[in-house]
Structure 1
Amino acid sequence: MIDKELLAADLIGRRLLKVTTAWHHYADDEPSLVHLWLHLEGLGPVLFHTPSTGLSLRADQPHGPYPMEEHGSVTVTDDSPDVPVTRFVGQTIRSVRQIGYNDGKVGFTAGLTLQFPGGSIRLLGLVDDLLIAHDQQLGAVEAHLHEDVTLARVVQTSGGRPSQWDAWTTTGQYLYLRYRHGEGTVEQHPSEDVDT
């Protein structure tokens, strides 16, 4: 399944096995992240990159390091502890939410929030830069980032303990909701079959 475009929903329920990064090194500047591969169980390596503005997902193998004429070089590393997403290696992606950018003039899908049992991470493609945001605010751009979590329909399927609901967002994403003793959980699934 190499060089195939993927949807965000394809990542749900996949265990993260390894992280590979490609860094662009300029002469005098800090290196910048140009490509990120998440190696997912049953799916293989998934390339996250920003073709211009926004984030693209593709099944694709990592490439090796290479020189760039007049613009430095690109190095490739596996499971670098400096990359926040590596702390989720071995965990399964529970949900994926799209992050929209809208400043009143321009609007586009800027990235994704990946939710793991141990926390979440945001992957963003903004103006040719790939950003990994973990427990941090991104300054002025933060006010223009929004995640779709608006529920369009909710149906209670059980009044027991826990009480349970099927729910759908305005974009058609299926959610499984449970509530018991003042605490609730939300699980995102690619279909209404919660075993997936």
Structure 2
Amino acid sequence: MTDEEELYAADLIGKRLLRVTTAWHHYADDEPSLLHLWLHLEGLGPVHFHTPGNGLSLTIDQPHEPFSMEQYGSIVVVEDPPGLSVTRFIGEPVRSVREISYRDARVDFGAGLTLQFPGGSIRLLALDDELVLAHEQQLGPVEAHLREDVILARVVQTGGGFPSQWDAWTTGGQYLYLRYRHGEGTVEQHPSEDTDTWDGEESRLWTKWDDGTDGGHIELTDFLTLAGLRLASTAEISPG
């Protein structure tokens, strides 16, 4: 990877978090605001998360030095800031990356990402040109407009073991291919269950983990828990 190279969200999956760098905007007596975030990932280097407007941008880029902006305050760079929610995942691999949309009556845009680690997950959001890290807290009125397509409306089992696999559709209509083999679980997004459609831009990896067991059978409920997916209360489940 080279500096300023843009990344896809799926590029982060399976990469171990080594350290965290943040850049904070300090101005007058206001609370410092998070301006830039770098997640240093094994095999990738420093991944720069920032917001050039609405939406989140991911690039390979080195953290910059602290600097002052005269009447606009100063930028303070902090390595592995204590108390920042994402630092508790240092040493863990990224298990999944899922997109978060913001939708209201006027706009619909990609607002950020949920990164899932073995020890939990965190949301990285770009809202009103601000970078927001949200762990378990609610974000007030904006929360009602955030959408993450992780609820399954229909699941069809296509393999009972070695591998365990399913075709699944979210409540938003997205097709997902769920598979568990040799202790490795994956969730892939594709246009449809027709494998002839799986080579285009709409196909990508959502989730990947390895439990170290080399197993080939897993129950659907256990798979969904590890993958960060949920069944709708009215979900249709069939053995295929």
Give CA-to-partner distance per residue, 1:148-171, whole Å, 9 cap, x none: 236699664521388433615465
Structure with the largest fraction of helix: 2
Is 1:161–1:180's contact at 8 Å kept on the other side of the alignment?
A: no
What is the 5 A alignment of 1:1-196? 1-149=2-150, 156-160=157-161, 163-165=164-166, 167=177, 168-169=188-189, 172-174=203-205, 179-180=218-219, 183-185=222-224, 187=227
Is 2:113–2:123's contact at 8 Å kept on the other side of the alignment?
A: yes
SS at match of 2:97: strand
Give CA-to-partner distance per residue, 1:62-84, whole Å, 9 cap, x none: 01100012111000011011211
SS at match of 1:82: coil
Mapped partners of 1:179, 1:43: distance in 2: 31
Is 1:164–1:179's contact at 8 Å kept on the other side of the alignment?
A: no
How far the C-alpha of 1:147 sits from its partner, in A, is 1.1
Can you give the 5+ residue segments of structure 1 that lack an aligned partner in the other structure?
Answer: 189-196
Mapped partners of 1:139, 1:56: distance in 2: 24
Mapped partners of 1:19, 1:176: distance in 2: 22
Mapped partners of 1:173, 1:52: distance in 2: 25
Mapped partners of 1:57, 1:50: distance in 2: 9
Q: State the number of aligned residues.
A: 188
| Range 139-148 or range 173-182, more displaced | 173-182
Give CA-to-partner distance per residue, 1:78-115, whole Å, 9 cap, x none: 10112110000000000000000011201110000000
Mapped partners of 2:220, 2:64: distance in 1: 50
Percent sequence identity over aligned pairs: 63
Can you give the 5+ residue segments of structure 2 that lack an aligned partner in the other structure?
Answer: 168-176, 178-187, 192-201, 209-216, 229-240
TM-score of the aligned structures, taking structure 1 as reference length: 0.86
Is 1:53–1:127's contact at 8 Å kept on the other side of the alignment?
A: yes
Is 1:162–1:180's contact at 8 Å kept on the other side of the alignment?
A: no
Q: Note closer, same or farther for the CA distance 1:27–1:133 as it changes in structure 2 (3 Å cut).
A: same
Q: Which has the larger radius of gyration?
A: 2
> Partner amino acid for 1:184?
F
Mapped partners of 1:181, 1:133: distance in 2: 28
